[in-house]
Amino acid sequence: MAATADDTEEHTAGPASPSPPARRRMGPGAMLVSALGELLITAGLVLGLFVVYSLWWTNVLADRAADKQADEVRDTWAQGPGAGAGDGDGPATFDSKNGIGFLHVPAMGGDDILIEKGTTMKVLNDGVAGYYTDPVKATLPTSGKKGNFSLAAHRDGHGAKFHDIHKIKDGDPIVFETKDTWYVYKTYAILPETSKYNVDVLAKVPEESGRKKAGHYITLTTCTPVYTSKYRYVVWGELVRTEKVDEDRTPPEELR
């Protein structure tokens, strides 16, 4: 016999679903913990974005600015004799507004590092190295005078041009390129850590490096440890020779 509609309902209908339990309200303590957790997550995200900005995006912006300025310097050099405005401390081919030349340090990767006047954040944040004007004035190699060509650059962020300064060893070459001359230095002393207030490392005769007599020195300075600015890392070099720049701008053997 066929099942009736009533029979079907009787056999297919199941027990009624129990009502869901009432949701417990969070107490004041739990609400506070939840709010703090959300704040910590947000703070972590903001901090992460700041780190990305500081250590990556500032490098991108600084490298763009430095490349543009470097191109302007080389274009000025290509204009021939007399191009560029002198700053009173070297020949007229020096233009300290856009840059005075390029630093080459094979141990740090060998990139062309544009050198400009000054060591303020405004200068260094453009991804360049700067020569000191305060508290001790650097002696430019082009002056022909004995002294210390003291430089600074960022180690992290804003181009991080001296990031690998710790890779420089005794005897490694440091080369300064101008429009007309290659200045070849040889590393002879390294100070891995000193106070940021130690200006004696910039002296015309850097006695902390072991030298006692006037000479033609170069000093590289940057922050240390990495990702901090608590101390300074210092590298000293001494001029071993100069070479005239030829028509092809053939680099000295230390850079080949």
Tokens of 153: 């650059």
Q: Would you state the pLDDT for residue 21?
A: 58
**Tens digit of pLDDT at every position of the chain (256 positions):** 444 444 444 444 445 555 555 556 667 766 677 667 777 776 665 555 555 545 678 889 999 999 999 999 999 999 876 555 444 454 444 555 679 999 999 999 989 999 999 999 999 999 999 999 999 999 999 999 999 999 999 999 999 999 999 999 999 999 999 999 999 999 999 999 999 999 999 999 999 999 999 999 999 999 999 999 999 999 999 999 999 999 999 999 999 9
Q: Would you state the pLDDT for residue 80?
A: 74
Can you tell me the distance from the alpha carbon of 102 to that of 125, in angstroms, rounded to the nearest whole number?
17
158 is a catalytic site residue: no
Nearest by Cα to 146 from 206, 84, 189: 206
166 is a catalytic site residue: no
Q: Would you state the pLDDT for residue 246?
A: 96
Point out the catalytic residue in the list 154, 163, 166, 216: 154
Q: Would you state the pLDDT for residue 240?
A: 99
Chain centre to alpha carbon of residue 167: 15
Q: Would you state the pLDDT for residue 37?
A: 72
Q: Would you state the pLDDT for residue 85?
A: 41
Domains and CATH numbers, the chain: 51-255 (2.40.260.10)
User: Nearest 5 degrees, angle CA 51-CA 55-CA 56?
Assistant: 105
